Each structure stands twice: as C-alpha cells, then as structure tokens.
Amino acid sequence: NNKKISIAIDGPAAAGKSTIAKITAEKLSYIYVDTGAMYRAITYKALKSQIDIQNEKEIEQLLLETSIELKPSNSGQLVFLDGEDVTEKIREEQVTNLVSTIAASGPVREEMVYRQQQLGKDGGVVMDGRDIGTKVLPHAELKIFMLASVDVRAERRHLENTRKGYSSNLEKLKEEIELRDKLDSEREISPLRKAEDAVEIDTSFLSIEEVAAEIYALAQERMEDK
Ligand code: CDP
Ligand code: CDP
C-alpha cells in the first residue's frame, strides 16, 4: 500500500513521542521530523549569541541567519545548526530550561511552523511536537495525543539519563517537566492541546512495543481509508 499519509504526534514532555515517532517512521519508510529539536536548536543559538530574547527584532534577525537540518542516522536523528552537529548539545539543561520561553515567541513559532509545513508538504511524514495536529498539519490523516502520568515521565527521563551516564535528579526532573508542561499549555500562541480528532493514548502502563503496534495499526487503517 503506497498511499502516503501524514501522522501527527503531540503530547507533554517525555510521554514517548519521539521514540514512537521514530519507530513508526522507520516501519513505514516515512520521514521523521522532531519539531522539538528545532525549537531546541534555535534556543541553543539564542543562548550562544547572547541576544536579548525579549527583543522581537533580534529574534527575527537570528531566525533569518539560522539553518536547522534534521538528518536520519543509524543512532537516531542528527540535528545540524548552521552545519554544526548539535544533537547532544540541544539536550543540555540550559537549553531545556529556556526552550519553552523561546518557543512561546510569535516570530519563532511562525518561522518554525512554516519550515515544518515545508518538510511535511508531500505527506509520508511522522511529526512530533506540541501543535502538530492543531496547527502544523491540521489535515493529518492520523493524529495521536500521547500522555503519561508525570511520575512515569520523570522516571523514564531519569532512567534514560542514567543509562547515558549523565547525572540526574528525579525530583528536579519532575519539576522541570511540570514547569515546561505548564508553560507549553498556557502560552497564547498554539498551546499544547489535544486536537479534536486526535486519538488519545496513555502510555503510562504500555511498553514502547505496545504503543508502536497500536499506532502502526491505526496508520494502516487510515491508509485504507485514503
Ligand atoms: O523531548 P521533550 O519532551 O523534552 O521536548 P521536545 O519535544 O524536545 O520539545 C522541547 C520544547 O520545545 C517543548 O517543551 C516546547 O516548549 C517546544 N515545542 C513547541 O513549542 N512546539 C512543538 N511543536 C515542539 C516543541
Ligand atoms: O519525545 P518525548 O519527550 O515525548 O519522549 P521520549 O524521549 O520518546 O521518551 C522518553 C523516555 O521514555 C525514553 O527513554 C523512552 O525510551 C521511554 N519510553 C518508555 O519507557 N515507554 C514508552 N511506552 C515510551 C517511552
């Protein structure tokens, strides 16, 4: 079956979106777009260039001068900022703590949504983020809203950090996730919200394989309908 659909996966931090989106894209030979990585990349650049983030003109100028590329690799997706591999750097705490503020800015959202829509314009894409089903790909054939309890999400991130050999504090992680969820849900422009036609999946008690299988089955259904 070669009818290419678009799949939007939204939800709060560490619900399992990118893990599942990557697997789904691989299974279907679709493009995977991690939109969070794009917001992280521009945040990293804003930190490095020490611009005044309250100043919209400075932010607009920065956006004009910024190229962000997402490239698939064996070890997952690589993120390039102006040609430099920043895959690891954009996950650092400093970036994580500022990203929701930068992502709330009007010019930043406008530009990122435009770039994401360009990447998704031909279909055959799995995109994950916060506003994919509501704003970036409102006509996506399959929309998923992925949830998990905050305790489970913090625990998963903690495990992930520990596995990678990073220092990690469970309580701090939980606070960081709760704060980011709050900022992302309460911002004015395209807040984190379940699209009306999204399928909700609570992954709190599901394995990665179970979630991936459920989404794959839904994708097959939507392809038949197309
Ligand atoms: O993977 P994690 O849950 O830590 O977050 P992410 O997907 O990398 O996204 C980082 C941040 O980017 C989010 O907390 C949002 O503030 C912002 N974001 C957004 O505003 N809109 C999107 N479509 C994706 C991410
Ligand atoms: O992209 P998002 O921030 O929503 O989450 P993620 O980075 O894909 O997943 C966060 C962590 O939860 C990863 O370490 C996944 O391996 C793990 N995970 C899990 O244990 N069980 C699931 N059903 C989904 C994800």
Domain ranges of the chain: 6-213
ipTM over 0.90 threshold: yes
Mean pLDDT confidence for 174-201: 97
Which pLDDT tens digit goes with each residue over 33-68? 999 999 999 999 999 998 998 899 999 999 999 999
| Distance between Cα 223 and ligand 1 center (Å) | 28
Q: Is 98's pLDDT higher than 80? A: yes
Non-local (6+) Cβ contacts of 114 within 8 A are none
Mean pLDDT for all residues in the chain: 96
Q: Predicted confidence band at 2 (pLDDT cuts at 50, 70, 90)?
A: low
> For a pLDDT cut of 70, what percent of the chain falls above it?
99
* Beta carbons of 147 and 201 less than 8 angstroms apart: yes
Specify binding-site residues for ATP. 11-19
Question: How far apart are the C-alpha atoms of 13 and 3, rounded to whole Å?
Answer: 31
Site to probe by mutation for ligand 2, drawn from 34, 156, 214 as the one with most ligand atoms within 8 Å of Cβ, is 156
The crossing angle, in degrees rounded to 10, of helices 170-186 and 150-163 is 120
Question: How far apart are the C-alpha atoms of 52 and 176, rounded to whole Å?
Answer: 23
Q: Is 3's pLDDT higher than 90? A: no
Question: How far apart are the C-alpha atoms of 177 and 171, rounded to whole Å?
Answer: 10
CATH fit for domain 6-213, picks 3.90.1150.10, 1.20.1420.30, 3.40.50.300, 3.40.640.10: 3.40.50.300
Which pLDDT tens digit goes with each residue over 211-223? 999 999 999 999 9
CA 27 to chain centre: 19
Pair of tokens at residue 168: 């990690």
State the pLDDT at residue 75. 80
* One-letter identity of residue 173: L
For atom 20 of ligand 2, the residue with the nearest CA is 156
Write down the pTM of the prediction.
0.97
| Distance between Cα 77 and ligand 2 center (Å) | 15
Specify binding-site residues. 11-19
Question: How far apart are the C-alpha atoms of 111 and 60, rounded to whole Å?
Answer: 9
State the pLDDT at residue 76. 81
Ligand whose nearest atom lies closest to the CA of 162: 2
Q: Is 1's pLDDT higher than 60? A: no
